[in-house]
Amino acid sequence: MKILLISMPSVHVIRWIENLKNTKHELYWFDVLGRGKLETLDKVYQITHWKQRKISYLKGEYWLSKKCSGIYKIIQPFLEITANEALEAIIKEICPDIIHSFEMQSCSYPILNTMNKYPNIKWIYSCWGSDLYYYQKFKLHNSKIRKVLNRINFLITDNIRDYNLAKQLDFKGDFLGVIPGGSGYKFENLLVSKMSQSKIDIILVKGYEHNLGRAINVLKALKELKNEISNYKVVVFGSHQKTIDFILNNKLPFQFYDRNELTHSQVLELMGKSKIYIGNSISDGMPNTLLEAMIMGAFPIQSNPGNVTAELIENGINGLLINNPEDLLEIKMKIKKAILMDKKGKFEIATEMNTAIVKKRLDFALNKQKIIDLYQTIDISGVPCE
């Protein structure tokens, strides 16, 4: 079959495509954000550099796009080729059997009008992160989400919460199951890296501080626990500038890395050395960094928006759940509890549990077969492009 994948450039999409390496499908990738080529299989035909102007750039256009995005989107089709127009041209050229979009706001909203023009093309949507949980709270987004889900034929999520949410938001199609955002992990490679790392007294913190990430709340808690954590080294990775500024302005003795300073393999190596991992946000799906921390043997302390993290973590047993990511007192208490568990030697039990969980749910070969099979279950009889 012809499968057209639509996404932003992402390591998760690259890993997803890798699962289809030895299949006979014709694979196409549409660079919906216009950011350039994807480092992926040679067999994937990549559709990039499609953004073109219809008229010359107008003074004040950029300002309008940032300050009055609603108005800008109305006039945008008169200024430049839109994702809807580009997709329609692609459909007319290749007539895909299946269109698979990854993510909602940037990769599914922009193609809805064209997908409605071609109701016979089967549409798979992979729900990522906060696609539904966070954006459903906003009236305009709620309406857009419902319109997309009403057209979607098949849904994939990385947790049960989002499947239940999708049904509440007018999804009437078929659920293809829970699969990690980037598919599975090759444990044989990661475990070699894990075994080569000696555990050090590191508290590793994810440094996201933006509309969803709340790293600074963790850093505030650690600052107030300076006596309790005196035997630990605090390392912050993936740090936004606000996070870095907080560390520097408060003269905290924490090591930090910015958003692009470490490769994915270097982050995994850090996790393999760390005793405790902390991730804190007001909204997320099943965090990939949480999964990776579990694989690499770091004891996880993770926020639990919408009870997603609780699908994997039993509070106080194989990790600790932050129920209110804005509550410094709760975060402090969870860190203190983790330190006490470390002193009592309970991390070994948690690591054994987490290793069993991730091997069962995140194995690359297992999820690869799920991904191959899910496309085979879809009936593509008929004429998709009429």
Q: Are residues 191 and 165 in the same domain?
A: no
Q: Give me the sheet containing 2-7, strands edge to edge.
A: 45-47, 26-31, 2-7, 98-102, 122-126, 154-157, 174-178
Q: Flag whether 385 is in a domain.
A: no
Q: Flag whether 384 is in a domain.
A: no
Note the pLDDT tens digit of each residue in 274-290.
Answer: 999 999 999 999 999 99
Tokens of 165: 């949410």
Q: Which percentage of the chain shows pLDDT scores above 70?
A: 98
Query: Residue 191: pLDDT above 80?
Result: no
Note the pLDDT tens digit of each residue in 294-348.
Answer: 999 999 999 999 999 999 999 999 999 999 999 999 999 999 999 999 999 999 9
Note the pLDDT tens digit of each residue in 53-103.
Answer: 888 888 888 888 888 888 888 888 888 999 999 999 999 999 999 999 999
∠ Cα 358 359 362 (to 5°): 60
Q: Are residues 200 and 176 in the same domain?
A: no
Q: Are residues 125 and 215 in the same domain?
A: no
Banded pLDDT at 193 (limits 50, 70, 90): low
Q: Flag whether 43 is in a domain.
A: yes
Q: Give me the sheet containing 299-303, strands edge to edge.
A: 255-258, 233-239, 202-206, 276-279, 299-303, 320-322
Q: Are residues 293 and 167 in the same domain?
A: no
Phi-psi region of 39 (alpha: psi -120 to 50; beta: other; left: phi over 0): beta
Tokens of 125: 């949507």
Phi-psi region of 36 (alpha: psi -120 to 50; beta: other; left: phi over 0): left
Check if the beta carbon of residue 290 is closer than 8 Å to that of residue 205: no
Q: Please state whether the predicted TM-score (pTM) of the whole model is above 0.85.
A: yes
Provide the pLDDT for residue 62. Answer: 84
CATH of the domain at 52: 3.40.50.2000
Tally of structural domains, the chain = 2
Q: Domain limits at 216?
A: 187-362
